Structure 1
Amino acid sequence: MYKTHSKLLMIILLCMTSMTINAQTKKEKKMTTEQKNVLRTIEKMTEAFQNKDIQAVMTSYEPNAVVVFEPEAPISDARVLQEMFTKMSMVNPVFTYSGHEVFITGNIATHIAPWKMTAKAPDGTEIKQSGLSVAVLRKQKDGKWLMILDNPHGQYLMEK
């Protein structure tokens, strides 16, 4: 049972690729307007996830976006992604981030953020995980930034 919940939490962490809803750090205050717009997409998705608003979570992604809930297991089927986010939200994970980097070239952005997550399994067991979130976003014709790749396990190859 713990392994099942651990996998769900790992998925949640992947999805939570780098979002802080708290006050911005000094470095974030130095971001350009477009960098802040990218960060806002991540923050809105995180807030929606923590509020269990899975429809709002899904609007943070382009159709056919890839989410890596577990290393080496990317998922791009929207129905499966919605199911995974729904299941992950049930353990009420709490994410904290120690910083954000946003790099933009043209209409593509990369968001990188170290994260820590705590949650509780249904049996009360505390779950703790951490990682490096790497998300790739594309600017849409209407000016919004949407994720096309969300990998909360960016550190995976270094740990192999």
Structure 2
Amino acid sequence: MTQTMTLALTTPAGPVAAGEAAAIQSRIEATAAAMQAGDLDTVLSGYVPGGLVEFAPGAEARGTAALAAGYAEFLAMQPRITFDCHKVLVAGDLALHLGAWTVEGTAPDGTAIRDGGFSVVVLRRDPDGAWRIVIDVPQATAG
């Protein structure tokens, strides 16, 4: 069961529409679905060109080539991703997505992998209205 919590910040133009939060959650879920399908091109299309992913604490990848290399390794495990909850905050053309997740897959040696965590994702709305990921921290920790 997935829970969704949406907080809309008030802007000078008024409260942010619930549709914005749904569009952001949709971007996150579409990116996860592309990961599950092993579709690297679609995963990368969800990020801005200079996007950053912290694949592990202290291991940052910046830009399309670095993200492609990091995700190629991740996609090799044939991940199955489940979100336990989503929380979305929107302020103008910036958004913050917070989510608890679980992933299952297979290591190169055939060993089953199961992991989980809490992700923090910053998104930006493009001029065409699409939301794209700027910063992605799938294993967010305080340290």
TM-score higher than 0.5 here?
yes
Structure in which a larger fraction of residues adopt helix: 1
Query: Paired residues, what number?
Result: 133
Identify if the C-alpha distance between structure 1 residues 26 and 93 changes in structure 2 by more than 3 Å, giving closer, same or farther: closer
Q: Is 2:83 the counterpart of 1:73?
A: no
Q: Percent identity?
A: 29
Structure holding more strand per residue:
2
Distance (Å, rounded) in 2 between the aligned partners of 1:63 and 1:44: 18
Q: Does 1:91 align with 2:77?
A: yes
Superposed structure 1 runs of 4+ greater than 6 Å apart: none
1:116 Cα shift?
1.3
The Cα shift of 1:52 comes to 1.1
Task: Give the distance between the partners of 2:101 and 2:133, measured in 1 at CA.
Answer: 18
Structure with greater contact order relative to length (CA < 8 Å, sep ≥ 6): 1
Give me the TM-score of the superposition, normalised by structure 2: 0.85
Match of 1:32 in 2: 18
Report the alpha carbon displacement of residue 109 of structure 1 after superposing the two structures with TM: 0.2
1:117 to 78, 99, 103: 103
Superposed CA RMSD in Å reads 1.8
- Give the TM-score normalised by structure 1: 0.77
What is the distance in 2 between the residues matched to 1:137 and 1:26?
17
Render the CA deviation track for 1:37-66: whole Å, top value 9, x for unaligned.
Answer: 011111111111111111111110001111
Task: Note if contact 2:89-2:97 (Cα within 8 Å) is conserved in structure 1.
Answer: yes
